[in-house]
Amino acid sequence: MSFRRLFYLGPFCCLLCIFAFGCQSKETVPEKAAPSKQKVKKLSPIKSPEAALKEGKELRAEYVYDPAGRRDPFVPLLEVKKAISVDEGPLTPLQTFDVGQLRLAGVVVGHAAPIAMVMAPGGKSYVLKKGDRVGKNHGRVVDITESGVLVKERFYDFAGEIRENLQEISLPKRSGVD
């Protein structure tokens, strides 16, 4: 025999021995157990409420779950925000992105109408002014300051109530400037 055959045959023989001798049981099976002499209490059949009243027994009120005024336990608490449907015409390109995806490139303030430039994830730049629609939740630009742009969004929360959220798109920190 070659060394290669012994290499494969050795572990196979070891496994065969383990299975052959390892499957033997040293436990003895107990003989038939004597039947127990305990009496089993028979359950009485279910009676209607009227029959129980005739016998003079008290009736206990059964618990009934009343879901009125409680939230549905099968609705997740952290549900994705549902946007309020508003028919304001066609969507602007900035309404195809979330507000958090937009990056503020620059702000021009000091004259009557401040403006800001934001970059979309694709690298395209857009100019914003107060009142422009931004974001998937029908957000509107509320204010443009030196530090960033404030966007107000309205959405339904998990309880179905309308909530307003103010998000800020802030200017990135400049490095090397004190």
Instruction: List, in order, residues 6 or more apart from 42 with CB less than 8 Å away.
Output: none
Q: What is the average pLDDT across 157-161?
A: 74
In angstroms, the CA 47 to CA 54 distance is 11
Domain-located, residue 29: no
Rg (CA), the chain: 38
pLDDT range class, residue 6, cuts 50, 70, 90? low
* SS3 assignment, position 25: coil
Domain-located, residue 65: no
Domain-located, residue 64: no
Domain-located, residue 39: no
Domain-located, residue 25: no
Instruction: Say if CB 113 and CB 132 are below 8 A apart.
Output: no
Mean pLDDT comparison of 39-43, 73-77, 108-112, 140-144, highest-scoring range: 140-144
Give the per-residue pLDDT at 49. 64
Residue-wise pLDDT for 83-121, tens only, equals 566 666 777 888 888 888 899 999 998 878 899 999 998
Domain-located, residue 128: yes
| Dihedral of alpha carbons 162, 163, 168, 169, sign | negative
Domain-located, residue 160: yes
Range of the domain at 107: 82-170
Element (H, E) at 106: strand 103-108
Residue 91: give its domain's CATH number. 2.30.30.830
Total count of domains within the chain: 1
